[in-house]
């Protein structure tokens, strides 16, 4: 097999992981929103900040950009733009589901929707990380902390999102049972899910092995 064909196969597998991850994450995020039991830590921070600043939109994008700028400064590399593709791609899928609101035709209880949504968000994030393309900005910053400071991924992600959650709460942002569920489930499950995908489903991890 030629090097070109091998490269095409690896690229195809990476994009398959990425696309699947974005779809699964977006379904999970929609179910989490549909449960109406709380916001994720980033939204808690955004809503808290909006109560004190004349900003109505774009705070999540601003946080993502700040993460990417910090990564670029820390690693002395160019700013990565692929996480923004993921941000808008997943956002578009979530918006489409919100418009259809398909979950209203199911019998999902709010807590079932919340737990299922958190699980799917974690699994989708794991697949996106394994694709090594368009890794979500906060996840990428947590991975950079892991590579640079040998901090376990889940601790790095927990520190980042925990800081957003605490700051948002202090600013008056909403914190519900869903917020805590999202924080605990997604932060703690991504790393085991990557391991399970490699060991049990024989999926390739295109990201640096040391990240997980």
- The answer to the question of residue 176 being in a domain is yes
183 falls within a domain: yes
Do 135 and 129 contact (CB within 8 A), yes or no? yes
- C-alpha 195/C-alpha 86 separation (Å) is 23
Q: Is residue 73 part of a domain?
A: yes
Interval 55-108: pLDDT, tens = 655 778 889 999 999 999 999 999 999 999 999 999 999 999 999 999 999 999
At 122 the three-state DSSP class reads helix
Higher pLDDT among residues 99 and 5, named by residue: 99
Q: What's the CA dihedral at 122, 202, 5, 24 to 10 degrees?
A: -20
4 located within any domain: no
Q: What single string gives the DSSP state of each residue in 134-200?
A: S--HHHHHHHHHHHHH---HHHHHHHHHHHHHHHHHHTT----HHHHHHHHHHHHHHHHHHHHHHHT
Q: Establish if 38 belongs to a structural domain.
A: yes
Domain range holding 157? 19-211
Check residues 142 and 52 and name the one with the higher pLDDT.
142
What confidence score (pLDDT) does residue 208 get?
56
Average pLDDT over residues 118-140: 96
The total domain count for the chain is: 1
Choose between 212 and 119: higher pLDDT. Answer: 119
194 in Cβ contact with 112 (< 8 Å) = no
What's the confidence (pLDDT) of residue 34?
94
Res 94: pLDDT: 94
Q: Nearest 5°: CA angle at 202, between 199 and 207?
A: 85
DSSP letter at 80 equals P
Tell me what pLDDT residue 35 has: 95
Rounded Cα distance between 69 and 62, Å, is 10
Q: Specify if 77 maps to a domain.
A: yes
Query: What was the pLDDT predicted at 58?
Result: 72
pLDDT for 150 equals 87
pLDDT of residue 18: 97
pLDDT for 210 equals: 42
Q: What is the chain's mean pLDDT, rounded?
A: 90
Answer yes or no: is 3 within a domain. Answer: no
Residue 5 covered by a domain: no
Give percent above pLDDT 90 in the chain: 74
Check residue 48 and give its pLDDT. Answer: 87
| Rounded-to-integer distance, Cα 4 and Cα 40, Å | 42
Residue 212: exposed, middle, or buried by beta-carbon count in 10 A (0-12, 13-18, 19+)?
A: buried
């Amino acid at each position: 097999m030629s090097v070109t064909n091998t490269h095409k196969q690896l690229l195809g597998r990476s994009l398959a992981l990425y696309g699947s991850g974005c779809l699964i994450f977006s379904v999970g995020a929609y179910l989490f929103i549909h449960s109406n039991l709380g916001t994720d830590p980033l939204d808690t921070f955004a809503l808290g900040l909006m109560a004190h600043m004349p900003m109505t939109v774009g705070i999540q994008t601003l946080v993502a950009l700040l993460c990417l700028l910090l990564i670029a400064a820390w690693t002395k590399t160019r700013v990565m733009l692929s996480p923004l593709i993921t941000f808008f791609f997943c956002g578009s899928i979530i918006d489409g589901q919100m418009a259809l609101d398909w979950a209203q035709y199911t019998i999902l209880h709010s807590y079932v929707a919340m737990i299922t949504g958190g699980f799917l968000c974690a699994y989708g994030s794991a697949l996106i990380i394994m694709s090594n393309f368009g890794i979500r900005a906060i996840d990428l910053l947590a991975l950079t902390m892991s590579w640079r400071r040998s901090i376990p991924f889940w601790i790095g992600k927990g520190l980042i999102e925990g800081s957003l959650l605490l700051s948002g709460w202090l600013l008056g942002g909403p914190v519900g049972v869903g917020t805590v569920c999202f924080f605990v489930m997604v932060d703690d499950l991504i790393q085991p899910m990557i391991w399970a995908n490699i060991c049990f489903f024989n999926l390739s991890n295109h990201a640096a092995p040391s990240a997980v």
